[in-house]
Structure 1
Amino acid sequence: MAKDDPVRFGAEFGPKRTGASSGVSLSTFKTLVWVSNLGGLLLFVIGLELMVVKQSFGFGLACIVAGVAIALFPSNYEIIGMEELGEEDANEEG
């Protein structure tokens, strides 16, 4: 019952795109990066404020970790049109 092309939640994630996933365009990727970086930076600043000014280390650390996770989120998306050219070149030579 194993399939070669599994459909899974978030199929555009990962090093290789499956046939069922579509990926994202370059403009969508840029928008995701900007929004997540600004949101992550805002959470990071709030976390530092909580730790230094309010002396709330637990909530501050949670905000910093959440901010870093949000800032790194779009790096897992695969961009449409950015396939490797090495496979096509290898087929033409052989």
Structure 2
Amino acid sequence: MTDEVMYVSKKGKQPTAQRFGGEFGPYRKEGTTGVSLGTFKTLVWTSNIGGLVLCVIALELLFVQQEFMWGLISLIAGVLIALFPSNYEIVGMDDDVPPED
């Protein structure tokens, strides 16, 4: 019975189904666009600064204000925000495309 439930829950799902956005994940489906190098650099700078600010706020909350829960939440959010752009695929970085002459 449990095996049937497991198979039913996977019914109709493709192994290459798109997640949240076409640019995300290690494999990109056909017809999706990545982001340009300039956009990627902007995302990296913005998220790194935002993540750093949240980590500084987390340290303030943890050690000065003694607010452990809010400090931990801010620290986790800062790390997640700083890691966010690593999920994007940059346009033109494909290995299987032959170089142009």
Report if TM-score (shorter chain) is over 0.5: yes
Deviation track 1:16-61 (CA, whole Å, cap 9, x = no partner) reads 2111310100000000000000000000000000011000011001
Q: Is the deviation greater in 74-83 or in 2-11?
A: 2-11
Q: Which residue of 2 aligns with 1:60?
A: 71
Matched, 1:51 2:62: yes
Q: Which residue of 2 aligns with 1:72?
A: 83
Matched, 1:17 2:17: no
Q: Percent identity?
A: 57
Of 38, 45, 48, which residue of structure 2 is paired with 1:27?
Answer: 38
The Cα RMSD (Å) is 2.2
Distance 2:69 2:88 in 1: 31
Q: Which residue of 2 aligns with 1:92?
A: none
Distance 1:37 1:51 in 2: 21
1:58–1:84 distance in 2 versus 1, CA, 3 Å: same
Equivalent residues of 1:29, 1:74 under 8 A apart? yes
- In the TM superposition, what is the alpha-carbon distance from 1:9 to its structure 2 partner? 2.9
How many residue pairs align between the two structures?
88
TM-score, structure 2 normalization: 0.76
In structure 2, list runs of 5 or more residues that go unmatched.
1-11
In structure 1, list runs of 5 or more residues that go unmatched.
89-94
SS in 2 for 1:80: coil
